Amino acid sequence: MNASDENRRAVSPAEDPAPAEDAAAATAPPEGPAPEGDDAPAQEGRSHRRRQRMPLWLDTLVTMVVALVIAVLVKTFLIQPFYIPSASMNPTLLEDDKIIVSKLSPGVFDLERGDVIVFEDPADWIPGDVTENPTPRVRLMMALSLVGLAPDPSQDHLVKRLIGLPGDHVACEEKGAALQVNGTTLEEPYINPETPACQAAFDVTVPDDKVWVMGDNRYASADSAYHEVHGDGGFVDESDITGRAEVVFWPASRWSGLGDGTDAFADVPDQP
């Protein structure tokens, strides 16, 4: 018998069978406590993660802070809500309407004639300071403005319709006449139908970096035309524009978009 025959005989199950009981014992899990082996680190890691779970109060606080940061970023760069305090934009906007303003215009998107825009008071168009004897609404706005969730009421914002861009020639021949832009007479379906388009005669060319704005309720709006004829200067700096009003979102019965005004300017040439 050679060595290879001896090796085969040494492992032959026919001659040296392994007891079934011994094979089962070799593969059965041990009884009793888990050994201090490879599974111990995994179990310790799971226990460690359970011990490191954030307390409920801290988890709630972090969630609130993250939500606040997101709200501030949205308000700063994307959209901002405003409410309408007067009748100067009737019938398009009524008192106490809430609107959403896109801050991507001007900037990412250009403004167009006919857009409804919100802008900071350019030259004391709004008399007085609402923060001297604030109402509950103003107090709430003052608090929200500290974290960027509302406009600062001390800055005063107005809402009007954009009529003239830089370089445009805007004119009214006389009180009660139709408005003209770059020589084109406008039909303005958005204005108060009970009053004419012009509350006074004027003839202006909009300077660079300025715009000309008017309220839809022309005879109840201290707008560019009103301030121009009263010698106060009627132009608004483009840098003062907060954004373009996109939609009335409250009350729900008033929900509507605000983009139809540009149709009235479809035939207006870019140059006078």
Half-sphere exposure of 95 (CA within 13 A, CB side): 5
The number of beta carbons lying within 10 Å of the beta carbon of residue 123 is 12
User: Residue 160 catalytic?
Assistant: yes
Give dist(CA 180, CA 172) in Å, integer: 6
Instruction: State the Cα–Cα distance between residues 147 and 145, nearest whole angstrom.
Output: 5
DSSP state of 254: G
Q: Are 115 and 105 in contact (CB under 8 A)?
A: yes
Q: Structure tokens of 212? A: 């000309």
Structure tokens at 233: 């200067």
> Among 88, 102, 105, 224, which one carries the catalytic annotation?
88
Q: In the annotation, is 88 catalytic?
A: yes
Cis peptide before 81 (omega within 30 of 0): no
Measure Cα distances from 73 to 68, 70, 253, 270 in Å: 9, 5, 29, 35
Torsion, Cα 55 58 64 68, to 10 degrees, reads: -140
Catalytic residue among 75, 103, 160, 210: 160
Catalytic residues: 88, 160
